[in-house]
Amino acid sequence: MTVILELKNVTKQFGGLTAVGNMRFQVEKESISGLIGPNGAGKTTIFNLITGIYNVTEGEIIFEGKRINGLQPYEIADTGITRTFQNIRLFKKLTTYENILTACHYNTDYSILDAVIRNKKFRRGEKNLFQQVDDLLDIMELKDRRDVVAANLPYGLQRRLEIARALALKPKLLLLDEPAAGMNPDETIKLMHLIKEIRERFDLTVLVIEHHMDLIMGICDKIVVLNFGKKLAEGTTQEIQTNPKVIEAYLGEEDVIC
Ligand SMILES: Nc1ncnc2c1ncn2[C@@H]1O[C@H](COP(=O)(O)OP(=O)(O)OP(=O)(O)O)[C@@H](O)[C@H]1O
């Protein structure tokens, strides 16, 4: 197994509160892994630590063999880690197309001078860019909403657009924070298929936080369960579903987990 991401005894304290304590787990390359746990367990804090929004108090975060904690968020993004947010963060006044285009522009290889004189390199770059946006619209099934302003998209489609925009940055590791929040069961099933599809298509590694257990159990190769900032359990969906400690942490909500 090739490990792409590793948390080594990571702790995050906010004053006297230990939001994440001594956390250690590995994420296998091109896997889909789930991070679950009750509210306040420390899931989003872990995403904020991986992406450099918070500094770790202790421990190390290793991505592709290199320590990334201590780097600035933009430097971590440059290593190939992108995320979506629990509360959707789109350019609300831009269209679906424009939202993806702005992210695709991040990867262009022409200079400002190329753009000013509109030379061949610029024209070829622009053509590739438009093709990438079209492909992403297609994959995320947003083509018919191409010119709709993001704020006017239904909630489920805004979430899909956020994923499309994250993919435009060509990540190696995609962190999804509650991608199915607010979605109905049909939308959630569709999203499950899409996550699997994009993993295959882009050779992606996905780490997903989600409260919808159907989604987690339907797509994850491995699950890490948190409780009060600590790792409670780790294993396959089968192992997690039958783990008494996990069932207890969810206050007997066996229905939710199984
Ligand atoms: N910036 C912060 N300052 C102080 N405390 C924080 C901060 N961010 C998170 N916390 C605290 O850390 C703990 C873990 O929060 P976190 O948001 O990571 O939980 P979570 O598992 O993502 O919860 P949820 O499922 O509700 O999103 C909580 O007690 C929270 O109040």
- pLDDT tens for the 258 residues of the chain, in order: 899 999 999 999 999 999 999 999 999 999 999 999 999 999 999 999 999 999 999 999 999 999 999 999 999 999 999 999 877 788 999 999 999 988 877 677 767 777 677 777 767 766 788 788 999 999 999 999 999 999 999 988 999 999 999 999 999 999 999 999 888 888 899 999 999 999 999 999 999 999 999 999 999 999 999 999 999 999 999 999 999 988 887 755 555 554
Give the residue from 168, 200, 225 where a domain finishes: 168
Domain containing residue 11: 1-80+171-257
Ligand 1 pocket, mutate which of 11, 12, 17 (most atoms under 8 A from CB): 17
Question: 134 and 188 in one domain?
Answer: no
Are residues 185 and 241 located together in one domain of the fold? yes
Q: How far is the CA of 137 from the centre of ligand 1 (A)?
A: 33
pTM of the full structure: 0.89
- Using the mean position of ligand 1's atoms as its centre, give its distance from the Cα of residue 56 in Å: 14
How confident is the model over 161-170, as pLDDT tens digits? 999 999 999 9
How many structural domains does the chain have? 2
CA distances from 119 to 125, 235, 241 (A): 10, 53, 58
- CA-CA distance, 218 to 190, in Å (whole number)? 12
119 and 59 part of one domain: no
**CA 3/CA 19 separation, integer angstroms:** 25
Residue 164's SS3 state is helix
Residue 63's CB is within 10 A of a number of other CB atoms, namely: 21
Whether residue 76 is found in the same domain as residue 177: yes
Last residue of a domain, one of 107, 140, 168: 168
Q: Are residues 129 and 65 in the same domain?
A: no
- Nearest-CA neighbor of 20 among 42, 44, 48, 47? 42
Task: CATH number of the domain at 28, please.
Answer: 3.40.50.300
The helix or strand, by DSSP H or E, that contains position 186, with its residue range, turns out to be helix 185-202
> d(Cα 241, Cα 258) in Å, to the nearest integer?
6
- Return d(Cα 227, Cα 97) in angstroms, integer: 40
Give the number of the atom of ligand 1 that is nearest the alpha carbon of residue 54. 1
Whether 42 lines ligand 1, by a CB cut-off of 6 Å, is yes
- Ligand 1: residue whose CA is nearest its atom 25: 39
Q: Looking at 149, 168, 187, which one is the last position of a domain?
A: 168
Question: What is the interface pTM, i.e. ipTM, of the complex?
Answer: 0.96
Q: Judge if 178 and 220 occupy the same domain.
A: yes
pLDDT (tens digit per residue) in 124-143 = 766 788 788 999 999 999 99
